[in-house]
Amino acid sequence: MSRWTVLLPQPVAAKALELLRRQSDLEVIVLSPEEKERVFAFLPRAHALLVRSGFKVTKEVIDQAVHLQVICRVGVGLDNIDVEHAKKKGIAVYNVPGGNATSVAEHTLTFIFALAKDLFWYDRRVREGDWGSRHSYRALELSGKTLGLVGFGAIGQEVARLGLALGMRVLFFDPFVPCDVLPGAEKVANLCDLLAQSDFVSLHVPLSETTWHLIGREELRHMKSEAFLINVARGAVVDEEALYEALKEGWIRGAALDVFSEEPPPKDHPLFSLPNVILTPHVAGLTKESTERVAVQAAERVIEFFRKLRGECCGESKN
């Protein structure tokens, strides 16, 4: 094999593309948003796929890419990739966990501040000329409040550090993380305990069979009536119908969502009609810094994959 072809169905940061194009043994094909429908024409040439969240690597895509050897997700999570089918075909699958942890954690904290201070409610009152609303005393202090984190990987731990710095009590529920992983954060035995104790519940788990609708009616009923729910993980982790009911009927005080079960959500989504929910379009990890960082890390993974493959093909030492 003289050259391998790396196919990008969507553009990524220029620094990552430059890194790939500097490799003499790689041919890099990048499709623009206008060309995305042409991806199937290029799949038979691809040895590597470098994809963002907007491109679904389905069974059909994998079967069309007859020379495919590696798939790398530019970001966290693999829910847009048919990982099982890829593995059956002997295709390596990677992502870059932690690359956008700071950005997602800061977005989470922004949600927490906006909910606690009721910023959007006050903004609407000022625009309507209701200056007297300043005496409604809706805002809360974060110091002394309890922050519950469901999932305690790189992002959850970064949110915890920010919460602890604000004087919050931080709880976490994650069966796969030891209790002493972060000084100051307290591990709880089960999800219901965390929900019942927390003033803010923030979700940081991948989407899987076990986390689908992890937060439903029963879980929302366990939360305090003055508590807030934040989801920057994956939309389907929350039962959106149940959340709508909880927000409308006052089971909880408010919510903030960066992700939805269907993206983009339909224009008539029930949550759009509620004043006590803040919505952003899956941008928690999309800062200038993190977008470049994860793209470069993904490019480096692909380069390293083919470097090792060339070494194996040429009988070079792995040391």
Q: Can you tell me whether residue 37 is helix, strand or coil?
A: helix
Contact 93, 78 (CB under 8 A): yes
Q: Any catalytic annotation for residue 282?
A: yes
pLDDT at 316 over 70: no
> For residue 318, what pLDDT band results from cuts at 50, 70 and 90?
very low
38 catalytic residue (yes or no)? no
User: What are 161-204's pLDDT values in tens digits?
Assistant: 999 999 999 999 999 999 999 999 999 999 999 999 999 999 99
Q: Choosing from 138, 217, 269, 282, which is the catalytic residue?
A: 282
- Kindly report the CATH number assigned to the domain that includes residue 253: 3.40.50.720
Residue type, 11: P
CA 86 to chain centre: 22
Residues 251 and 117 in one domain: yes
Please give the C-alpha separations between residue 51 and each of 27, 41, 44, 257, in angstroms, as whole numbers: 16, 16, 16, 24
Q: Which is higher by pLDDT, 318 or 197?
A: 197
Q: Do residue 93 and residue 105 come from a single domain? A: no
- Are both 77 and 199 inside the same structural domain? no
Contact 46, 66 (CB under 8 A): no
State whether residue 315 is helix, strand or coil: coil
* 203 and 309 assigned to the same domain: no
Collapsed DSSP state (helix, strand, coil) of residue 252: coil
Residue 23 within any structural domain of the chain: yes
> Distance between terminal CA atoms of the chain?
22
pLDDT at 319: 44
CA-nearest of 164, 236, 178 to 205 is 236
- From 52, 107, 222, 234, active-site residue: 234
The neighbour count for residue 90, using CB atoms within 10 Å, is 8
Q: What is the pTM of this model?
A: 0.87
* pLDDT average, residue stretch 67-76: 94
Q: Single out the catalytic residue among 60, 263, 304, 312.
A: 263
Residue 307 pLDDT exceeds 50: yes
Within a domain: residue 319? no
Is 84 a catalytic site residue?
no
- What is the predicted pLDDT for the residue at 37? 77
Q: Tokens for 164? A: 């602890």
User: Per residue in 126-170, pLDDT tens?
Assistant: 999 999 989 899 999 999 999 999 999 999 999 999 999 999 999
Same domain, 169 and 230: yes
Q: Are residues 273 and 294 in the same domain?
A: no
Residue-number span of the structural domain to which 275 is assigned: 101-279
Q: Is residue 318 domain-resident? A: no
Let me know whether 74 and 131 are in one domain: no
Per the structure, how many domains does the chain have? 2
Query: Do 295 and 201 reside in the same domain of the chain?
Result: no
**Interval 275-296: pLDDT, tens:** 999 999 999 999 999 999 999 9
